[in-house]
Structure 1
Amino acid sequence: MIIRWTYAFADRPVGRLSEARAFWTAVTGTHASEPRGEQAEFLTLLPDEPAGTDACVKLQGVAEGDGGAHLDLCVEDVRALTRAARERGAELVADHGDRAVLRSPAGQPFCAVPWHGESVRPPVAAGSRLDQVCLDIPPSAYAAECGFWAGLTGWERLTGSRPEFEVLKPPAGLAVRILLQRLDTERPAGAHLDLACADTAAVRARHEKHGAVLVRQGPHWTVMRDPAGGTYCLTGRDPRTGALPDAGRRAVVA
């Protein structure tokens, strides 16, 4: 089963979707599509330029909770991907015919959706690129969850720069990769978005100008909260390649 494209979803409370729309379009160099869904809860962030590049980020308004993030995996055969996911322990949440909502063994939602020919990733925007969905996994489920996502995607499995990280690197050209993070404590699985930043301080200042606030500072990541209340990370990685250069200038992956 070949995954042809990936979308990173920012899930935010439906009542704050307009705030999420204004912020995420501003910081990613995109404009929003017309809303879709029964409650106008879905938006695609379309690259402003250049022509011919494909979207890879979407917004979803959620009725409950503060939201988070999830992945859409685009394939030619949704049924085959759904079947493969279930055989590996995923739960089918909803079957919509041409797409399916599933939940990983650790409880992280994701979707199997049809591929519509997307193939050209959008450019770096103002020194950053939203290029990663980080899955936050409780310790008891971490090993199995890493195996699930590696088996389902077939992507290259790489050790991260710290013991609690593992990276699934997609084939060249795909827009969004997966970082799996082992949490320190047992709590429900979740996910958040990561941006690769050439200059994290400059990107942070730009995001704060558009209403984001600092939550905390990590070793090589900065946790932020957007105006709609969702948390995400600015990471000191090359936005072109996703690599994190260490002090010796070797390229590491998370």
Structure 2
Amino acid sequence: MAGTVSAGSDTFVRWTTGFLDAPSRAAEEFWRDVTGSGLSSRRGAGGEFATLLPAGGDAYLRVQVVGDGPARAHLDLHVERVAAQARRVVGLGAVVVHEEGGLAVLRSPAGLLFCLVSWQGEVVRPVPAAWPGGRSLVDQWCLDIPGAVFEAEADFWAAVTGWPRRPASRPEFEILVRPDGMPLRLLLQRIGGPVSGMHPDVAADDRDAEVRRHVELGAAVVRTEAAWTTLRDPAGRSYCVTDRDPVTGRLG
């Protein structure tokens, strides 16, 4: 069943949107097919923005053509008062990159780009899409954080969202506990390299069948781990298909 967001008074984020950024539209059809979504009309001065429209529930994934590469991902946090929340987030250590009405583009202390945008009343989390091999859903955004700055960056994101930190299934991971109905869980991953990044994760009933489906649509397998497979989409963006249940979010 679709969930409705329940946010307490100490939760600043009302909704989350994952953005898939690329220098061209090369992977837009891929992500539309992977998620079983429609594609909205294009927006922006150059038609650079479009929304992936789920079969049910409120939209939470968007695509954007950017002027430079490589293909990457960023996160939009939907809040009720953008300017006030931007001031709060800057006080926590973020840097403002750009501001205009209803939008603030910021960079975290570890260099992760994200946006604060005006909440438009989204509350209903989309349900997983059903395929011959089972169900799947983009349900997680992974923040890849260098180990040297992990603790400070994890504290930053917990303070920005108001979501508590919790240990995950492996020592290199932590999660931020999202409110019920929030479409994207945030996974914090310690990495060995010096450059921070973000990538989407797809939860699937049957990982092997889901990976085969993605490969048929144009993805390439990078490596396979015990509980997830890393792939690259047609634009070269890395992402993962995981064994997490697409309904409950629990690791199978």
TM-score normalised by length of structure 2? 0.92
Stretches (4+) displaced over 3 A: none
Which residue of 1 is the match for residue 192 of structure 2?
184
Q: Could you give the per-residue CA deviations for residues 32-85 of structure 1, whole angstroms, max 9, x where no partner exists?
A: 1111112211111011x23xx111111111211212111100011111211111
Which residue of 2 is the match for residue 88 of structure 1?
92
Q: Offset of 1:216 from its aligned partner?
A: 0.8
Q: Offset of 1:94 from its aligned partner?
A: 0.2
The reply to whether residue 216 of structure 1 matches residue 223 of structure 2 is yes
1:21-100 equivalences in 2 (<5 Å): 21-47=28-54, 49-50=55-56, 53-100=57-104
AA partner of residue 80 (structure 2): E
Which residue of 2 is the match for residue 141 of structure 1?
149
SS at match of 2:13: coil
- Check conservation: 2:71, 2:235, Cα contact below 8 A: no
Aligned match of 2:210 in 191, 194, 203? 203
The reply to whether residue 171 of structure 1 matches residue 175 of structure 2 is no
SS at match of 1:163: coil
The reply to whether residue 6 of structure 1 matches residue 16 of structure 2 is yes
AA partner of residue 13 (structure 2): I
- Check conservation: 1:27, 1:125, Cα contact below 8 A: no
CA distance in 1, matches of 2:226, 2:45: 42
Q: Offset of 1:92 from its aligned partner?
A: 0.2
The reply to whether residue 244 of structure 1 matches residue 248 of structure 2 is no
Q: Offset of 1:204 from its aligned partner?
A: 0.6
Q: Offset of 1:5 from its aligned partner?
A: 0.6
Aligned match of 2:136 in 121, 128, 140? 128
AA partner of residue 20 (structure 2): A
- Check conservation: 2:12, 2:160, Cα contact below 8 A: no
Uncovered stretches (5+) of structure 1, i.e. residues with no partner: 246-254
- Check conservation: 1:167, 1:179, Cα contact below 8 A: yes
CA distance in 1, matches of 2:198, 2:30: 19
Q: Offset of 1:20 from its aligned partner?
A: 1.6
Uncovered stretches (5+) of structure 2, i.e. residues with no partner: 1-10
Aligned-pair Cα RMSD in Å: 1.1
AA partner of residue 70 (structure 1): H
Which residue of 1 is the match for residue 7 of structure 2?
none
CA distance in 1, matches of 2:143, 2:95: 17
Which residue of 2 is the match for residue 156 of structure 1?
164
AA partner of residue 142 (structure 2): C
CA distance in 2, matches of 1:73, 1:149: 11
CA distance in 2, matches of 1:169, 1:20: 30
Q: Offset of 1:203 from its aligned partner?
A: 0.6
AA partner of residue 235 (structure 1): T
- Check conservation: 1:69, 1:192, Cα contact below 8 A: yes
CA distance in 1, matches of 2:88, 2:217: 41
TM-score normalised by length of structure 1? 0.91
